[in-house]
Structure 1
């Protein structure tokens, strides 16, 4: 800064009074994410996943129509996974992709999982069918779903459903808590709400 600029700055700042120091911090009572922000985040995440998840069947490990499917990320407790396997969690929503082509199934699956995660739903049912008569090989959609779900960060675990909910043609899918739920849990634990 030259001297003229410095003089002008001092002149403008002449009546400014410093703030008194304060040791209190004011936090918003509750952090809330708008529906528009959720939709924008889901769209960005969806686009990333659609680029990452293959449609080429040569890249999909095949499974058989009557195979039981099971997947659990590290950190998911055995008791929680057992309850998922036994169908003990309330199913918040379901998606039926059997009968769709591979692209439709992938796009629907990604949109569904991200939407349900953003809404804070923890357990969903995904119907993929067994695919005994699929071409070019049996269980095409089932194989794709099995692979794709393991690639989605929003999927903690999945397991073939109980007989009355589709057996080897459907999956229970467990989703993690969304950011809003984690913030609420942190706030409850910080205040000692878990002791009540």
Structure 2
């Protein structure tokens, strides 16, 4: 539990962190790097649950939330506002993720489960800060989870999302296809007139 030169200490991490790291495939770590990438888990869910329970019994820490926090029935508008204020600077306002410094990145939350959203807020994996009860109450966390689950299920009303990366990707799309189309039409008209 105390860790080694190549592995962190597990004292105080609790079952929530263990479940998050193993179920998202971040652990066991394949190679040292700026950030552990998400990949397919190497253990079954019963094995993950057993390891999480063992760590919780030996090194207690954050535990699983009540089902109410994960139910997606919170205040979506308030959750979206809290997400924009606390999370969007890294995860993007549309939860599409984004690049950080030194080869690190904030992962996309477009298909993340409610449990893993909560676990990330409470345990602060890798580059993410811990959002304790002094920062965000359980009701606030429920609202953020509800907003993200709502966003995962909603349909893009504006047509193509273009990766939800904002005006840069949209502007590039217009320049490449819009201006390119105008040039092609101009060449065609010129060729027809000759």
TM band (smaller chain): under 0.3
- Please state which structure has a larger fraction of its residues in helix: 2
Choose between structure 1 and 2: higher strand proportion. Answer: 1
Which structure carries more relative contact order (alpha carbon 8 Å, separation 6+)?
A: 1
| Higher-Rg member (1/2) | 1
TM-score by length of 2: 0.26
TM score, norm. by length of structure 1: 0.25
